[in-house]
Structure 1
Amino acid sequence: MVAASALLPPASTKLERAYADATDLFARTHDAVSSMRGIKLRNPPPSWLPFLVYEYGLGELTPYVPNLYDLIDEGIRWQRVRGTPASIFRALGWLGYSAALDEAPPRRRFWNVLQIALERVRDDEADLIRIDGVTTLSLPKRSTFWRGYHGYDVRALEWGRTRWGQTLWSAYSGVRIPQSDVKWSFGRPYDIDHAMTQAELQALGVWIEPTGEVELGWDDIPWPDAPWTSDAEHARSVAMLAAVPAGTAWAVFRDADGAVIGYRRARARWPVRPAPGGIYAIGSNRYAVELSGATRLYIEAMTDFGDGFGSTAFSVGFVLSAVPAAGFAPGARWLPAGGIVPAGPVVAETPVSIEFGRTVRERVRAVLRF
């Protein structure tokens, strides 16, 4: 470090040089100033954080990224790409989500609207407010974020461009929640493959005693003298399924105490057979309608947005034939406890964990093997 007096001209007096050295603040502050260099980037004290957030213009992100250390580290990088798809992906990553962007085609009147296809159903409804906030802040000024979806995405009808049976006449699927103008549309599937028990078949009044024929077993050595398939056993299964009362099936949702949360009308109830090209699926297996000779019954029910909101279902089963009780609309699709008659027997009851929400449709699919 050079003394301040060394910077004076050779003709300076001793008094001038002494005065220059005595009033030089650099000698006293040099070490402190050097140690401060970069401190706000490396490890700023907590008391500095609100001022750094203000300096970097990140205040609008504080409701969505409450950890100010994370906000400063990530927010600066976000500012550099703000208005691009990269900024949306980065902002969603702060919340633990990822998504694909779904922009409206140029042919549409509102060509500037944006949808996001999330990689999963939201963890909590409060997350939707944060997703709305960070996505809206990340968009270019011309764009509008108006819909997010996963698992249930039905589009509005476009004349001449979409199929009528796979679209809605009025609008895109989804609902809005308080504090957000964005429409949300989620769906979750639950698949059940159930072999009907003797107790269930007896409760339905369709039980037929087994024929007593010997069935072929892989572990039997030597193999018994039995056909590869038992016509009698097959006919027994067909007869039991055919004897099930016709009518509307209902999915029954129960809470942890076994009390009924609600009944949802099934939208499909068909005898089916395994078929690679079938229209119905349970896991990786597909099924086609078989109006005669079937040994399996396919049932599918899907709750509407808001059905059972505030409750958690711990089991789901099915009533195979019932109608709305007196006092309820004949065409009602969701009914409370006591809303259908008869209220049983309930078959294929399966443990689940379904937290009903305002933005999620729960899809329960089951194949019952007779």
Structure 2
Amino acid sequence: MLAPHASDPARSRGRRFGPPDGRSTTPRDAFQRDRDRIIHSIAFRRLRHKTQVFVAPDGDHFRVRLTHSIEVAQIGRTIARALGLNEDLTEALCLAHDIGHPPFGHAGEEALKAATVQAGGFDHNAHTLRVLARLESPYPSHKGLNLTWEMLEGLAKHNGPVAKPTWALAEIDADFPLELGGQPSLEAQVAALSDDIAYDHHDIDDGLRAGLLSLDQVLGAPLVADGWAAVQARWPDLPPEQLAGELIRDQIGRMVGDLIAESRRRIAAAAPRSVEDVRAADGPLIGFSDEMAAGERALKRFMYAELYHHPSQLAVADKAGLIVAGLAEAYLADPALLPPAWAAALPEEDPQKSRHISDFIAGMTDRYAISRYREVVGPVDMPDGL
């Protein structure tokens, strides 16, 4: 049963557009339909070939945005179930949270932001909503996937209340007001921290597998060192290389357990009687204990220093940024280079013109961006494996 402060599909604020005849033709509830619309979307399928951490990974075992999103959803459902929250909304938010990322992850985003600064710039979180509410249009009667208000609100407040929305988010909010200044639902809060739990530890796993991190390096993070001691105590006779997977599982379990316990404490103290009480709260009700939060922040600092800013990653990221910047420059200078459908729909004036070109580039997968760059700009040397 749902907790009284959970999001209830029977009490959803609805969708921007209703069904043509006012009826639903499916036994699924509103949030289940949101989840399924995400899964069946083209934008979700494209995550298969978008960078998670390793730009253009040349192995089948590394994570990409698609597999990362599925792993986030698994963690999110576990937490939602334990707290009596709506699992379907939580899962849908987890699956959709990275849909707005351009090719090559954060390197691509920074390049696209710089290329479109005169048109208002680019933000992947706001672009997620733009994709789902504007660009992904499988229905003949309206644009977008027509997701529920709760789904769009949760995505908009991915990192908490929004005081100064970017142009893309402001457009969505003007059309379907999302109460950006309030706290997000508990399901959205769970989705955001499930993302942190997933990439904190799965990136360690991929870094070890790729040889960019050593176990000794990883144990330099106190949070990981504590977990390693517990794993070794259980399996004292196994060599360290056989225990890396057990370490990752243990770490995820520790963080999930801490999050559930601390969130129960906060919810009990705040005593929200409805989801509206959650939105009116002074701060988030889902979170880590102070000790775990400090350990998680230290782990992030370690990951940036040792993995995300690893020289080999920075070198490839520089090339990735040049690809995105080069594509933006080429299309802005000569929009006729766009595919026919995109060229035909090109607005005549800026900023809409530049934003249209940005939409096209942001939707690219890594390998398609490389292919288009070679076609419209020139040769580029990137890792194989796409």
Q: Shorter chain as normaliser: what TM range?
A: under 0.3
More helix by share: 2
Larger Rg: 1
Q: What is the TM-score normalised by the length of structure 2?
A: 0.20
Q: What is the TM-score normalised by the length of structure 1?
A: 0.20
More strand by share: 1
